[in-house]
Structure 1
Amino acid sequence: MQQIGPIQIIEGPHKSKVPYSRSLYIEGSHEKVLIDTGADPHSLQQLNKQSGVDLVINTHYHPDHTCHNYLFPKAEKWINKIEYQMSLTVEGIAKANGVYQEWGSAGVKEWAENIPQTWIQSLSEINGYYEYEKEYRLGGVNVIFLHTPGHTKGFTCPYFPDFGVVFTGDYDMTTFGPWYNGTDGNIDEFISSAQRLLSLDANTFITGHQKGTFQKDEFHEAMKKYLSIIDQRDNVIEKYVQQGLDFEELTSIGIFYPKNTLEHSILNTWERSGIRKHLHRLGYKVENGAIKHLVYSNKK
């Protein structure tokens, strides 16, 4: 288990690759705090047994960061203020994930029937929220929950100013690239939040998945490559639109996810939602399956 000052990093399987994520643990003398619960469940259970957890903090509602909340039945559980009410209902989660947008009420019903009940339990146990940009003293450590939307509307990056450490979560520098594919994701906000992370007075950046911990110069260089994937997606989508493909054809190619994985309903949903965002950014709209020009472009 890696440790930076009082902050312990708990890994998920396969270098915390989705559907897992890293968790942070702070063992204060009067309060034990866990940030995100996507790490290896056995490790989390051992941690709870040996040291205990008084407070669980979720950076956002996605299952790879909340799926093991249920392992801590005695702990308080907080999430960001924006997502607090939404995350308590299956309907709210379905809308935020793009299920309702793409498939309507029937799609929401089918999706709800296949959600792991442990995730529903983990979200239903959330009983409070934290404020953005306010300094908290948790586990004897000062932490500020930065509002960094883009990945989701309420997404936060916990910042530990006394140690120059920030948990960047799903600003993760993976080769997949930025993820903003729910209806509550936003490309321009993602870029703005990424720039904010680069401006922080921090030396250590802990990602939620795979790549791990970066020092400042490494993180800045990695972010350039990471954000460039957005423009690469723009270029690919523009090329296919110019070739005359309609929306259904475009969303079956595999621009975000490999083509052979699009048979999975939720990946297909996110593929479609992500492509809609890029089309709008490029100055297009989808109308009855056809891709048509808007009168303006959001691309910057």
Structure 2
Amino acid sequence: MNYERIGPIDVIFGERESRAPFSTVLLLRDGGDAVLIDCGAGHPAFSSVSREYRVREIFLTHYHLDHIWGVYLFPQAHKWINPYDYRKLTSWHELAKASGVYAAEGERGGAAWVVAQQEAAESPPPERDTAHAWGRVFGAVDRVYPYQQELMLAGIRAVMLHAPGHCEGYCCPYFPDHGVLHVGDFDLTSFGPWYCNADSDIDHFIQSARMTLEVDADYYVTSHQKGVVTRIEYRERLERYLEVIDRRDEKLRQAVKRGCSPQELLRQEVFYYAKNLAANPGLLRYQAIGIAKHLTRMVRRGEPWGDYVEHFFAAAGLDRRYLDVFSVPQAADQIGADALRSHESEGNTKMNQ
């Protein structure tokens, strides 16, 4: 198991240097018990964790599969999710809307996707099949944690900082006593920011990224490839990382100015290279949604492209009604209050009201 230790916090790096569909996980140690933050590292890492610890709780930063696919390996653990993402992991239709299936496929396509997922979930893959599947994790969450309130996780003070943009419910777990901020998918990679779901928002992403700089932390833990960086490194790299957004704007601006058709725009490698799309055609959905979010944002900021944007929606087959889908949060005191109180009495998970 490849990990780095910061006090009682183990940073467990995922397979393939935590490249998707894997991600970095935090393990909070409390004797023989442990709490996980996210659950996407890999089977070898989770086998090692299971041999050494009793995982009592798993706290998920958000609903994306690369961060949650492994929760089925810890059936005894309670699974916590943020207030916005609870419904996405308990309603197939909410998941389809938030992840962009409805935007890319329309209502009929979204409904068909839901039926396909339900059928797959009823016939789960055999244990030896290590494929990451929604059916293995859907419905697994049974607790909702609050944002911006102090929790005690494995005896460690923690605050779940709401950081929307990557998706609406995204959070950054902060451990003030150890100077650790899990920035997760503010991952500093050369790919740049990812905001290609229907519940993603470019401006919120930028605001949340800036917010992470205001946190009093010494160590910044990313979810993919870059590992743990210092405060100085994080500040410098974050600026370059956010500049990718402006470069995408400019690439689109120049393409439109030179007469690129809406059909051609979809293949301009704004997010994914042609070779990536050829290897995984499903990425085209995210490319279309990401470009659409850029174009609509640029129109709001003054670009005279209203008609062009409408033609792009048609060319990409996007249902505009579902491009921006945001939900009402499920209050923690409705789903998780009884659990929080019972866990306080057990001494496992405590919240200061």
Please say whether Structure 1 and Structure 2 have the same fold, judged by a TM-score greater than 0.5: yes
Q: Deviations over 1:23-68 (max 9, x none)?
A: 0001214852001011022211221232120001110000110010
Alignment of 1:232 onto 2:234 = no
Alignment of 1:171 onto 2:183 = no
Q: Is the 8 A contact 2:189 2:241 kept in 1?
A: yes
Name structure 1 gaps, 5 residues minimum.
292-300
Matches within 5 A, 1:57-206: 57-109=59-111, 111-112=113-114, 113=116, 118-206=133-221
1: CA distance, partners of 2:5 / 2:168: 30
Q: Is the 8 A contact 2:61 2:82 kept in 1?
A: yes
Q: Give 2:130's aligned residue.
A: none
What TM-score, normalized to structure 1?
0.92
Q: Is the 8 A contact 2:33 2:54 kept in 1?
A: no
Letter matched to residue 130 of structure 1? Y
Q: Deviations over 1:239-266 (max 9, x none)?
A: 1111222332211222100113324343
Letter matched to residue 254 of structure 1? E
1: CA distance, partners of 2:256 / 2:98: 27
Alignment of 1:241 onto 2:241 = no
2: CA distance, partners of 1:122 / 1:48: 18
Secondary structure of residue in 2 paired with 1:68: helix
Selected match of 1:276 from 269, 292, 296:
292
Consecutive aligned runs of 4 or more in structure 1 exceeding 4 Å deviation: 109-112, 114-117
**Shift in alpha-carbon separation, 1:150–1:133, aligned structure 2, 3 A:** same
Letter matched to residue 271 of structure 1? Q
Q: Is the 8 A contact 1:168 1:205 kept in 2?
A: yes
| Highest RCO, 1 vs 2 (Cα 8 Å, sep ≥ 6) | 2
Letter matched to residue 44 of structure 1? F
1: CA distance, partners of 2:282 / 2:144: 27
2: CA distance, partners of 1:30 / 1:22: 21
2: CA distance, partners of 1:245 / 1:259: 17
Q: Is the 8 A contact 2:89 2:140 kept in 1?
A: no
Larger radius of gyration: 2
Secondary structure of residue in 2 paired with 1:120: helix
1: CA distance, partners of 2:312 / 2:251: 19
2: CA distance, partners of 1:80 / 1:197: 18
Q: Give 1:54's aligned residue.
A: 56
How many residue pairs were aligned?
291
Hey, which of these two has a bigger chunk of helix by percent?
2
Q: Deviations over 1:174-193 (max 9, x none)?
A: 00000011011111000000
Letter matched to residue 51 of structure 1? Y
Q: What root-mean-square deviation, in Å, do the aligned CA atoms of Structure 1 and Structure 2 show?
A: 1.8
Secondary structure of residue in 2 paired with 1:287: helix
Letter matched to residue 98 of structure 2? A
Shift of 1:228: 0.3
Q: Deviations over 1:102-135 (max 9, x none)?
A: 2113433564537785432213111111000000
**Shift in alpha-carbon separation, 1:145–1:282, aligned structure 2, 3 A:** same
Q: Is the 8 A contact 1:97 1:270 kept in 2?
A: no
Alignment of 1:12 onto 2:23 = no
What TM-score, normalized to structure 2?
0.78
Matches within 5 A, 1:204-219: 204-219=219-234
1: CA distance, partners of 2:249 / 2:83: 32
Letter matched to residue 44 of structure 2? H
Letter matched to residue 278 of structure 1? H
Shift of 1:287: 1.6
Q: Deviations over 1:49-92 (max 9, x none)?
A: 32120001110000110010100011100110111112222222
